[in-house]
Amino acid sequence: MHYLLCYDLAANYLDRRAEFRDEHLKLAWDAQERGEIVIAGALTEPADMALLMFQGDSPDVAERFAKADPYVTNGLVTGYRVRQWNTVVGDGAHQKARGRL
Nearest-5° Cα angle at 47, 68 to 34: 35
pLDDT, the chain, mean? 94
pLDDT for 97 equals 82
The full set of domains in the chain, from first to last, is 2-85 (3.30.70.1060)
57-78 pLDDT tens trace = 999 999 999 999 999 999 999 9
**3-state per-residue secondary structure call for the chain:** CEEEEEEEECCCHHHHCHHHHHHHHHHHHHHHHCCCEEEEEECCCCCCEEEEEEECCCCHHHHHHHHHCHHHHCCCEEEEEEEEECCCCCCCCCCCCCCCC
Say whether pLDDT at 25 is over 70.
yes
pLDDT for 101 equals 46
